[in-house]
Structure formats: structure tokens, C-alpha cells
Structure 1
């Protein structure tokens, strides 16, 4: 091959390589690659359910696939730490509940991340209420009757919660103080085993999300006595405030999406716009409603305000219960 022909071939190869590289860079700039949506819990809970509701539709809005990546463990800390270590290019996001981004930093000494420093908010996804449910063996239909049952059955006065050092545990402690009951908090690794013990009569009561109790409440095998805020999704059940126990309305759990702290404004704005479009769709709203969750499209600033309110309430509950961070 002559030098001129060789040079032409080399030039063409270089030109093709440069063109492909530029195409890849352009695709990355437009967000064409897949997005991993971290979830700090196993399949089936509110966070995982919400992630799967929005992932496919969010991918369609963005023109790129969104893949749910479950990283369960330590109340979401493992997933949160993974987000902290992820590249700040929009390729990794984190769908989290209030527990991981607000409660854990309050109740755990070294969670491995600092929400305000290491993350930035992309947007709200949904809210769901916490509920107090009782086993039929208590025959309690309201908080007063539950308090009387606890007084008569002190050896069985146990309230289950789905995780230690969680908002449900702080709510359970406040309920116990209000009822002047000497109860024990039984911490589980997730809601399903706690609910099974409630159904079997091994627990008198439990605090968790409404969705964990709803089907059993409707079937009459468990009874929800109160929720953090009354909701049309569960008619006839009072809020704690309506039942005579105030101070718990801002413990409503907020599911939101977060990105690494250094993620550019343009990426966050693009994702927020796409997410809010998804949450406005009637079929998406219907799916959330079927899981007793309410879509919560928000700007990052609006979500920050909600998280700040939750932090104030949870901090007060910790002080009341003299909870010491572990």
C-alpha cells in the first residue's frame, strides 16, 4: 500500500472514530444512557412500589431507560451511600422515603451520608400516611379502648414497628405516652413479618404505612384505629389529631427522588419537569391510589420545606421519648 493510500485510510478511520466519539458524547449530553434508580428496600414496600410505578413512564418522558436497582439494608443507608459515591451526571438517582433522608440522620450517629451535603432534591413522588393497627384480640375500636386493653394485659402490651429508630417507633412511643401505657416496641426487619405477627395475635398493635394494613383492615382481620392524616383513601378512619392525639400530622412519609450533590442544575430541572409530567397522568395517579399513596409532584424547594417540617416534628418526638442516637 502506498503512503498516500495508507494516509487516506488512516484519516478515514480516525474520522469515523472521532465521529463515533462525538456521537457518544452527544448522547450522554442529551441523557441518552440508562438511569439507575436506587431503592433502599426489597420489592413490595412503598418505596419500591413507587419506583416501579414511575420508572417506565419517566423513561418514556426522558427518552432513556430507567431501571430500578434495589439496594436493601440498614433502613436505606446502603442505597444512600451508593448515591453519594455515584457520578454526578444524572445516571444514578435514589428514590427514598423520609426515613432514610430525615429520620436516619437524626437517629443514627454515623449513617455514612449527610442529606443536605451529599444529595440534591430532584422532586417529590408520593406521600403515604402512617397508621396504628390492632389485632382483633384487643377488641379495640379507638385509642381509649386500646389504652384500657393495654392496662388489663400488661404482659402483652407490645407495639410492632417495621424498623428500629424509625418514625413508626417514635409514633408508637408517643401513642404509649398518651395512653399512659407501659408498652414495649418490637422492631422488625420490614413490615411483612410484623403484619404476620399481628394477624397471628402475637402482637397487640403495630405502626406502619397504611398500605401495609389496608387489605387486612378491609377484610376485618386487622383494624386501623388512626392515621397520621385522615385520607379519603381510607374513609371512616380518624387522624390521630381527630382521635385526640395531636402532633403527628407532619410524620406523613414523603417519597422523593434525589441525585448526587454535584449534579448540574440543567439535569435536575429536566428530570423534575419529566417527573412532574409523569405524576400528572391519570393512569399513574390511579396506580398510586390503589396502593393508598397520593402523588406529590413538587419543586425541589417545596420538597425541602416538607422535609424540614418532618425534621422538626421527628426531633421533637425524639426529645419527648428521650431517644438517644445509636
Structure 2
């Protein structure tokens, strides 16, 4: 199965060039030059983050339209369009160049339902994602089925749940160590004002002062490599993000066996629901329990993570979606 990923140039950023995957290794498209993406999104030139993992299914490729559309024999193309403008020109340009593949509308980072297009654009009131999805053959997003069902009802078409494939085992093998407790807490919330970083840092400092820990702040332009090493080093990651997002940090913490407490991410809500809260009194209770008893379900959570996000699992789920719509 040849899988493509295409999004408008303004959504891929200047550092993302067209690349193709051969035997699990990404190369600049049409060359033998290994492609690394960006330091905040890849390590070892082949372990990628988030949406950039989709082309690794079936050794596919990412196409940046600013570099032109190459001749390709795709079976499936994941299309991303998070702009609130009319997506018709973008989708139609893909259909003209690649008329045969199944087009799957998806998202890179957008939270379904967070933003609405209530202006004078196409299909007023359906929401900007709905406008886009209806132009594709189907839609599949990385959020759980409950979110997908609500979105399906809102926009009037079936939205499938397809977890984001991650190289979980490779991340664990490269970064997990058996180092002694560091007595460090990572303030894991993204340092954006509207995500609640200030409150997260305040709570982490409270725990650190009360229980004799040191706080590691989530600031600076760290590489993903540096970030994963920090997650492995700290004893706790506290994340009180106020938005319901995928939960990349939750995935990384579970992969490395570091307790991730707090937040409303899709991953924590589904895999560790008892820790999915931003209530600081409850979070302190969780913190104390883990401090005194250890991360009791670490291996259980890791096995579930592999079952949900491994490449083989996601590829099997994609095959089931394609079978259902065929």
C-alpha cells in the first residue's frame, strides 16, 4: 500500500521538504540523501513525531506542493488542511493530479470543534474541518472514537478514529535508562499562555518546595532528543494543559516509564483516566501515591501504548477503514 501525505505549503513549515520512505528510512524525495526533518520533530534521521509518521506506513512519502507534484502511484493520500478558508482549490488540485487514490481528510494538530467557521465561507455553520472533509472520500483523525462520533454527528459524515503511529519501541530502546531517582519534576504543559503553563509551573514549584524536588521548566527551543532525555531523567511529569489535544507528551512519558499526571489529552483520557485531571488537590494525591508506591502500572500502560500506537496496529486499523468504505 503506497501512502501519501500532502498539506498546503504554509502548513508544513519551511523546514519540511518532500520526502519518501524506503525500508523505514526517510530520504529527500527522488534522492538517496537521508532526510532528518527538523530537530524538534525527529531523532536518528528516522524516528519522527506526530503527523510526519503517516508516510512511514507502507513506505510512502510526504509531498510539499511548493516543490511540485511528482508522478506517483498512490493507493491512499492523507490530506491536511487546517485553514479556515475555502479548501476547494487545494483538494481539487490533488484530485486532478492523483485521481485514483482514496483521499482521507485528517488533521495535523487542529482540535475538532475548537474553532468554527461562522463567517461567509462555503457551507456556513458546518465548521471549517467539515467543509474540507466533505470534499475527501472519507476522514480519519487521531482522536478517540467518542470525539469522532461527536464530530460525525455535527458535520453529517462518518469520521474514523485512527491513532497516530509512533516508533514506540525504538524511542524506548534509545532513551529509557535505569538511572536512580533524580528528585526532579518536569513542568510539562506547553509554555503558551492559553494552555495554562503558568498554573502548571506554580503547582510544580509548590510540590517541589513541599516535598524536596527540583523543577525543570518547559522553556527554550529544545531539540526532541534533549526533550526525551529530560523525560527519562525526571521522576514526574506534571501536565495541566487545558486543551484536549492528542497528547504527544503522554505518549513519550509512557514509552519511557515516567509517570505523567494531569491534563486532558486524548492519550491520558483513554489510557490513564484516573490521572486525567487538572484539580491540584487530586494531582497532589496522585503524586504522593506514586512517590510512595512507584509507577505500579508502568508496564501495563506501555503494552497498551504499543497496542494502540505501534505502526503495525495503526496499519491494521487503516486496512479495516479502507475495507469498510470500499
Give your verdict on TM over 0.5. no
Q: By percentage of residues, which structure has more helix?
A: 1
Structure with higher Rg: it is 1
Question: TM-score if structure 2 supplies the norm length?
Answer: 0.32
